[in-house]
Amino acid sequence: MIQPGDDLKVLVPGKLIDGVKATPQKGMAVAFQNGLITWVGRKGNLESVSKGRNLEIAEYPNSTLLPGLFDCHTHTNMPGDGRTGEDIDRDNDDIRLLRAARNTAAAVSTGVTSLCDCGSWNKTGFSLKAGLEQGLADGPRVLVSGPPLTVTGGHLWYMGGEANGTDGVRHQVRSLIKEGADFIKIAASGGSTLTSDPYRPAYSPEEMQAIVDEAHNRDRPVLAHCRCTAAINLALDARVDAILHCSFFDADGTYNFDDATADRLADSDTWLNPTIHMGRASRAALKQLKLERALTADEQERLDRSLRMGGVAVEQFGRLVQAGVKLIGGSDCGWSYYPFGDFQGELLALADCGLSSMQAILAGTLNSATALRLQDTTGSIEKGKAADLLLVEGDPVEDLAALRRVTAVFKAGAPVESARPATATAPLS
């Protein structure tokens, strides 16, 4: 086992997926030191890079080495056991922070070396990031938004991010960046929050533009939660960096694939995050629960709704993939019945939408890093980037489910001692 130190550490996998080449490579080796990748090349050329330093070589002939996974959409305060945001609002921030530490430990142990917390209560996200950076708990590189910007009573209002009017939203963006926000999250439509309307835009065009301008002027990307077509178009008008969910619903709650919006999405530079596996995980959990006991009226309604909409997201994003949109991997884990520890489920779902295995891997590595403006730091295995690395048993290009068969994880060159295989949160079908 490789241990932290000053010696040059080398991994020799059976295959390498570096995020640059189009296909896996054999006979390769990767060297790193002080948390950074220093060399990538043929195994036979290792002696030329040692330069008198000791080489600590670990060989994994039956594994594939790829960049650590990057989950661009999580909620670290949430338990992933079916409890709603309204339920968790009854907790205090101490409990939420402890839960966040547990969740991020589960994420990094299964290969996620970077993630975005896209909405947490009050200052808990900032505290989590600081604690992880100080080594107080195990976890990936965490980017935080703090409480999402939302209108009064809007989606996730209880997290503490209500802001209204152009002056109000500008002030909120500045305040979040002052606290340490790495990106800005907008509840551009309602969602599951009981007092919100998921089928109508939350903010005016002027408010949306003010949010994006303030964030971009301070070099912060903007991610927008959009559960309806009208909100998607407002987000595109404002030039957000990524759209989360990106659901084609009309104001009356009916689903309609909108060709004009699809064309706009394909022609834009905006990334899309489908969050498909959350529905699968929820259906599987509720079906199992129904075998054990009678469901409550709310649970049955959630199951019925999920069953009705189960095929819609795959169909929609299948058509969007054909249109040429750019996808990033974000699980939304913590929400509904999707616990941390199986980001891989979302990448498998993206493949069901028509992505190749390699495209799905890129969606969950380099694409997410690019959307968050970290492509020069992580997301691929290249000299000078962080040694955020994942080893899995087998070849995930041949069998994408191999991403769940975790062999080892390295975060900034340090081995994650708790590394373990991901536990599937829903059937593969």
Q: Are residues 73 and 159 in the same domain?
A: yes
The domain tally of the chain equals: 2
Give the C-alpha separation, 80 to 337, whole Å. Answer: 5
Q: Is 75 in the same domain as 102?
A: yes
| Same domain membership, residue 383 and residue 359 | no
pLDDT > 70: percent of the chain: 98
Looking at the fold, whether 192 and 318 belong to one and the same domain comes out as: yes
Determine, yes or no, domain membership for 425.
no
Select from 335, 353, 370 the last residue of a domain. Answer: 370
Query: 216-252: per-residue pLDDT in tens?
Result: 999 999 999 999 999 999 999 999 999 999 999 999 9
The mean pLDDT value for 144-160 works out to 98
Residues 344, 393 within the same domain:
no
Token digits for 192?
Answer: 């599951």
Which tokens belong to 11? Answer: 């991994």
Check whether 427 has a pLDDT greater than 50.
yes
> Does residue 281 form part of some domain?
yes
- For the record, the structure tokens of 165 come out as 């009017």
Whole-number percent of the chain with pLDDT over 90: 93
Please tell me the distance from the alpha carbon of residue 323 to that of residue 265, in angstroms, as a whole number: 9
Band (pLDDT 50/70/90 cuts) for residue 25 is very high
SS3 408: strand
Query: d(Cα 225, Cα 199) in Å, to the nearest integer?
Result: 12
Is the domain of 63 the same as that of 73? Answer: no
Q: Can you give the CATH number for the domain in which 365 is found? A: 3.20.20.140
Say what the pLDDT of residue 4 is. Answer: 45
Answer whether residue 288 is part of any domain.
yes
DSSP secondary structure, 84-123, as one string: -HHHHTTS-HHHHHHHHHHHHHHHHHTTEEEEEE---STT
Q: In this predicted model, what pLDDT tens digit does every residue of 117-126 receive, in sequence order?
A: 999 999 999 9
Predicted pLDDT of residue 284: 94
Q: Is 384 found in the same domain as 284? A: no
Considering the domain architecture, whether residues 63 and 120 belong to the same structural domain is answered as no
Domain encompassing residue 151: 69-370
296 and 411 together in one domain? no
Cα distance between residue 156 and residue 414, in whole Å? 36
Average pLDDT, the chain: 96
Same domain, 216 and 307: yes
pLDDT given at position 67:
98
CATH code assigned at 387: 2.30.40.10
Contact 4, 54 (CB under 8 A): no
Cβ–Cβ < 8 Å for 13, 391: yes
For residues 36-65, one letter each, b for 16 or more C-beta atoms within 10 angstroms of the residue's C-beta and e for the rest, the string is ebbbbeeeeebeebeeeeeebeeebeebbb
Cα distance between residue 22 and residue 9, in whole Å: 26
- Kindly tell me if the per-residue pLDDT of 1 is higher than 80: no
Instruction: Give 34-54 pLDDT, tens digit per residue.
Output: 999 999 999 999 888 877 778
Q: Is residue 130 situated within a structural domain?
A: yes
* pLDDT at site 308: 85
Report the predicted TM-score, pTM, of the whole model to 2 decimal places. Answer: 0.96
User: By the 8 A CB rule, do 421 and 405 touch?
Assistant: yes
Rounded Cα distance, 375 and 388, in Å: 12
Rounded mean pLDDT, 163-168 = 98
Within this chain, do residues 50 and 164 fall inside the same structural domain, yes or no? no
The answer as to whether 427 is a domain residue is: no
What mean pLDDT do residues 109-138 have?
97
Residues 169-195: pLDDT tens digits?
A: 999 999 999 999 999 999 999 999 999
Q: What's residue 22's pLDDT?
A: 94
Confidence of residue 309 (pLDDT cuts 50, 70, 90): confident
Contacts 24+ apart (CB under 8 A), 175-180: 176/145, 176/146, 176/147, 176/149, 177/215, 177/218, 177/220, 179/123, 179/126, 179/146, 180/126, 180/129, 180/144, 180/146
On whether both 43 and 77 belong to a single domain, the answer is no
Q: How confident is the model at residue 428 (pLDDT cuts 50, 70, 90)?
A: low
Residue 357, pLDDT above cutoff 50: yes
